[in-house]
Structure 1
Amino acid sequence: MEIKPHSPYGVFLTYLLLTFYCFGAGMMNEFVEYLSYADLGRSFPPADFARWHQATSQNVLPFLVLPILLGNIALIALFFNRPASVPRWTLWVALACVVAAWTSTILFQAPIEQQFDEGHYSPALMARLWQTDWIRKMAFLVEIGVVIYMAVCFFKQATVRLTTPDSVLLSQAR
C-alpha cells in the first residue's frame, strides 16, 4: 500500500492521528484545567484569576484549537477522498459529533470562558461550565469510538492486502 500525501490513506491517517491527539488534549483540558479553575477561582481574587486564566488560555489555541481545526478539515476531505474500507456512515457520525462539539463550545464554553477573562469568576458560573461541557465530552467520546471503529476497518483491510498475493487480489477485482 503506497501512501501519497493526498491519497485517501494519507488523509485518513492524518485524521486518525489528529483525532487521537485532540481527544487526549481535550480530555486533559476539560478534566485537569477545569478542575484547576474551580480550585483557583475559589482561592484567588477575581482580577488575579482573570489574569491567570488569560495567560493559560493562550496555549489552548496552538495546542488544541488548531489541531482540532486541522482534524475537522481532514474529516471533511475524507468525504471526497475516503479509503473504501472506511464506511461512509462513520464519517457522518463523526461529523455530527464535530458539529455538536463546536456548537457547545460556541454557545456555552466560550462565553463562560470570556466571562472568566473579564474577572467574573463565580462558583455558579464554574458549575455551569462543568455541566454544559458534558455535551462536548460526550461528542468527543462518541467520535473517538467511531474513529476506533474506522481504524479497525481500515487496518483490517490493509492487513488483508498485505498478506494476500497480488494475483489473488487481481482476480477478486475482476
Structure 2
Amino acid sequence: METTSNSPYRVTPYRVFLAYLLLTFYCFGAGMMNEFVEYLSYADLGQYVSPAQFARWHQATSHNVLLFLVLPILLGNIALLALFFNRPASVPKWTLWVALTCALTAWASTILFQVPIEQQFDQGHFSPALMARLWQTDWIRKTAFFVEIGVVIFMAVCFLRSVNKRPSVSNADLVTQ
C-alpha cells in the first residue's frame, strides 16, 4: 500500500521516538522486575527443591522472558537504530550513541554471563555459588539499563521542551486555513 505524505500511517521521527520511549520504559520496568524479583525467587526456590526440579521449573518459565522481555527489547533496539536515521531535531544525537552503548553493553552481558548461567540452570546445575555469580554479573546489565533510562528521560525532556516552544495554533487560525 502506497502512503502519501498526509497519511496517518507515515513513519515520522515523532512516531519512531514515541515507540522507542514506550518500549524503553516498558522494558526498564519488566527488566527490573525480572532481575530483582525473578532472580531473587531463583535463589529462594533453589534452596527448597532439587537441582533437577529447579531445572524443570526454569525451563517451563523461560519462554515468558522471551515473549515479554526479550522481544520488546529487540523492538526497542530496532526503534533506537531507526532514530539514527529519523530522529526529532530536538533529540541530541549524542544521546542516541549513549543509549546504543547501553544496549550493546546489556546484550554483551546477557550473552557472555546471564545466558550461560541460565543454561546451566536448565541442565540441573543450580547452586548458591552459581546464583551469586548470576546476581553479581547482572549488575553490568542493570547499570546499562539505569544509564539508558536516564538518557531516555533526558531525551524526552529535550523533546517536550521543543514542543512547548512551538507556536500554538488557535481555532480561528484553523478556520481561516
**TM-score over 0.5 for the alignment?**
yes
Q: How does 1:1-174 map to 2 (within 5 A)?
A: 5-161=10-166, 163=168
Report the Cα distance in structure 2 between the residues aligned to 1:162 and 1:134, rounded to whole angstroms.
Answer: 45
From the superposition, tell whether residues 115 and 162 of structure 1 become closer, same or farther in structure 2 (CA, over 3 Å): farther
What TM-score results when the alignment is normalised by the length of structure 2? 0.89
In the alignment of these two chains, the number of paired residues is: 164
What TM-score results when the alignment is normalised by the length of structure 1? 0.91
Report the Cα distance in structure 2 between the residues aligned to 1:113 and 1:88, rounded to whole angstroms.
Answer: 36
Q: Name structure 1 gaps, 5 residues minimum.
A: 166-174
Which portions of structure 1, spanning 4 or more consecutive aligned residues, are displaced by more than 2 angstroms? 2-5, 162-165
Question: What do the CA deviations read for 1:73-123 (whole angstroms, capped 9, x no partner)?
Answer: 000000000000000000000000000000000000000000000000000
- Three-state SS of the structure 2 residue aligned to 1:59 is helix
1:163, distance to aligned residue in structure 2 (A): 3.5
Q: Give RMSD over aligned pairs.
A: 1.4
Report the Cα distance in structure 1 between the residues aligned to 2:57 and 2:69, rounded to whole angstroms.
Answer: 18
1:143, distance to aligned residue in structure 2 (A): 0.1
Percent identity of the aligned residues?
A: 77
Report the Cα distance in structure 1 between the residues aligned to 2:29 and 2:72, rounded to whole angstroms.
Answer: 12
